[in-house]
Amino acid sequence: MKETEKVPEKKLLIVEDNQDSRELVIKILKNRNYQLIEAFDGEDGLEKAIAEQPDIILLDISLPKMGGYEVVKNLRLRKEFKHTLIIALTAHAMKGDEEKALKAGFNGYISKPINVHVLPDQIENYAKKTI
Ligand code: MN
C-alpha cells in the first residue's frame, strides 16, 4: 500500500493527572491511527490544546490547577474549538452526569475505570457522531 493511501492520523490529546490511567490510554491507542499528546493537569491541557490543535481531546474531569469543566468551557469559547471532539473521562459517573457533561460542552463521556477492550470503539463512535 502506498503511503498516500493511508488514512490520515488524528491528533489526540489525553489530559489526565493519574499516571496509570494516562499510560493505560496511551498503551491502548498507540498502535492505532493516532498521534498522541499528553497533558498532566488542566492548565497544561489547555495550553497543549491551543498549541497543538488536536482533533480529539480526552479530558479528565478531576484535575489539579484547573478542572475538566473549566478547561472545556475555556476551549469552547475559542472558535477553533467549536467542533473539536472533546470527551470527558470521569470516575464519578452517576445519573445526570452525562447531561451535565453535554451541557458543559463535552461531546460525551467515558466512565473510569477505562475498559481496554472498548475504549477505541467508544472514541470512534463519538467521532462518527460529531462529523
Ligand atoms: Mn484526575
Distance, CA 81 to ligand 1 centroid (Å)?
22
Distance, CA 18 to ligand 1 centroid (Å)?
6
The answer to the question of residue 31 being in a domain is yes
Q: Cell 498522541 maps to which residue?
A: 36
The answer to the question of residue 3 being in a domain is no
DSSP string over 11-26: EEEEE-S-HHHHHHHH
Q: How many domains does the chain have?
A: 1
pLDDT at 96: 82
Domain enclosing residue 85, as ranges:
10-130
Distance, CA 97 to ligand 1 centroid (Å)?
16
The answer to the question of residue 2 being in a domain is no
| Residue 104: C-alpha distances to residues 18, 42, 70, 124 (Å) | 23, 15, 9, 21
**Domain at 123, CATH number:** 3.40.50.2300
* Torsion angles phi and psi, residue 31, rounded to 5: -90, 10
Distance, CA 16 to ligand 1 centroid (Å)?
6
Distance, CA 5 to ligand 1 centroid (Å)?
38
**pLDDT tens by residue, the chain, 131 residues:** 555 567 779 999 999 999 999 999 999 998 898 999 999 999 999 999 999 999 999 999 999 999 999 999 999 999 999 999 999 998 876 778 888 899 999 999 999 999 999 999 999 999 998 75
Distance, CA 8 to ligand 1 centroid (Å)?
30
The answer to the question of residue 5 being in a domain is no
Residues with CB under 5 A from ligand 1 (ion): 17, 60, 62
The answer to the question of residue 58 being in a domain is yes
pLDDT at 130: 73
Distance, CA 120 to ligand 1 centroid (Å)?
20
pLDDT at 94: 73
> Left if phi > 0, otherwise alpha if psi is -120 to 50, otherwise beta: which for 27?
alpha
The answer to the question of residue 20 being in a domain is yes
